[in-house]
Chains A and B, each alone.
Chain A
Amino acid sequence: MVKNFLKKSYLFLIFAFLYAPIIVLIIYSFNSSRSRGSWEGFTLDWYRAMFRDRQILSSLYYSLIIGALSALIATIIGTLAAFGIQRLKRFLQNTVMNLTYLPVLNPDIVTGISLMLLFIFFHLKLGFMTLLLSHITFNIPYVILSVLPRIKQLDPNLYEAALDLGATPSLAFKKVIFPEILPGIISGLLLAFTLSLDDFVISFFNTGSGVSTLSITIYSMARRGINPKINALSTLMFLSVLTLLIIVNLIMARDESNKKRRQNLS
């Protein structure tokens, strides 16, 4: 019993460690004074100020757009690539996979800098396009890593069976192959979107012309000192992510129970 209690308290401490700063951020976003030592009253002022802050709103907009676009494009290119890689001969396949791993393994600062050198060398102005291109570049390997295993697990006979039963190649693809790899594509898409939103270093080196992502704006605000607007922003982001994860979890749980019901019925 004591052992059980110790185990649970240890876990509790770890979780407390992980959440303490976040909780503090949230609490202080309601503090009417900027001072970190004292509490001077509840206020929503910082939230109002945050919504009026042009820079924060514009960087939120850019973060979401770049996230969505880069995830989408990376998923398309990555999925096609995964199919192509699957058909390569052994040696070429290994080489390509190793090269695919390179942006994943590289410290993000090296990826960011090398891309910056590329853009400047070719006289491209740093801005929205270069930011988008960089994000797509580091997203593609993760999509491939999500989709490829699914493709490898495909039973080749299913496709042939569909063709034998009279389906055209594209119908066979749509009805047989695509549903099987869809989970991999979805997880690749989500992974790419998340990585894009969270990225700081690569965006830092490859943006300009007033295009700024959320991470970059937070960094420059944080370098000026503590600003409760950031606290307000983090509270909202935390709540959004929490809501998102809860929804995803609920959907997954519902899917599971649906599957179980169908299995029980049949």
Chain B
Amino acid sequence: MRKNWIVYPYFGWMIAFTLIPLSLLIFFSLTTQTNQGISFSFDNFQRFFEPLYLQVLFRSLLWAGISTLFCLVLGYPSAFILANLKLKYKNTLILLLVLPMWINFLLRTYAWLTLLERRGLINTLLGHFGIQPLSLLYNDFAVILGMVYNFLPFMILPIYTVLSKINQNLLEAAGDLGASPWQCFCKVIFPLSLPGVSSGVTMVFMPAVTTFVISRLLGGGQYTLIGNLVEQQFLTVGDWNFGSAISMVMIFIILLGMSFTSRYEKTQEGGGLW
């Protein structure tokens, strides 16, 4: 066997920058600082299982779920229509769809502040119609809107990719065998698009659960999602042990989610998006 030396730099990097940090995280989560020094305990995890923090977890999962659902409901039809478009400039439309994804994520979130404020654009326009200013910012609505807005293209693209690769002959065959368009969709198209759907759901749900920027900027500091909780523990309160424990819980949730969706995925191809 030829010596496989070229993989060693990567091994080294991985150990240094992935495995060691992870072990530090595990170490911090299992220890607490007491007056006598460091002691091993499950206190941090126990504290997480208090009702207050479980509520935070539940809220994060719920909102991520709602945002994912909205993204799916809005995104699937878009992907479907796009895939079936016979226009010359289909590629341009895809380009335009991808463009917002390339704009800085923070700027996209910040953009909504101008629109949603009490004296912002939307309320000003509504005011012309005599409608009282709506409370559109710093509430559930704003945060979920922010999540849907940021992650929608991530739902549309994978579904579009899979839909556009569906062999047209299959559809023709189904039609020849007497299926109505609706049956065609339910029995042929939708099942075939499931890998794309599962890809999209993964790419929306995971970041949605763990975000802290969207809830911070659009939620006005009132919404503590699990990401905010971790950030707060590390940067404001300084309780790294509790923060690490919460991080471990987050990793666990993600791994759990991945094991569900991997049932629908076939072989992993490069990049995932392109």
Contacts and interface: CB of A to CB of B under 8 A. Distances in A.
Direct contact, A vs B (beta carbon within 8 Å)? yes
Contacts of A99: 14, 18-19
Interface in A174-226: 184, 187, 191, 194, 197-198, 200-201, 205, 214-215, 218-219, 222-223, 226
A145 B247 contact: no
A177 to B, nearest CB: 13
A102 B18 CA distance: 8
A237 B107 contact: yes
B62 interface: no
Nearest to A38: B124
A154 interface: no
Interface residues of A, number: 86
B97 interface: yes
Given A77-B13, A107-B206, A245-B98, A21 B22 contact: no
A243 B104 CA distance: 16
Contacts of B175: none
Contacts of B143: none
Interface of A: 7-8, 10-11, 14-15, 17-22, 24-25, 28, 35-38, 77-78, 80-81, 83-85, 87-88, 96, 99-100, 102-103, 105-111, 113-118, 121, 133-134, 136-137, 140, 142, 145-150, 184, 187, 191, 194, 197-198, 200-201, 205, 214-215, 218-219, 222-223, 226, 230-231, 233-234, 237-238, 241-242, 245-246, 249
Interface of B: 2, 4, 6-11, 13-14, 16-22, 24-25, 28, 74, 77-78, 81-82, 91, 93, 95-100, 102-108, 110-115, 117, 119-121, 123-124, 149, 152-153, 206-207, 209-210, 212-213, 216-217, 227, 230-231, 234, 240, 243-244, 247, 250-251, 254-255, 258, 268-272, 274
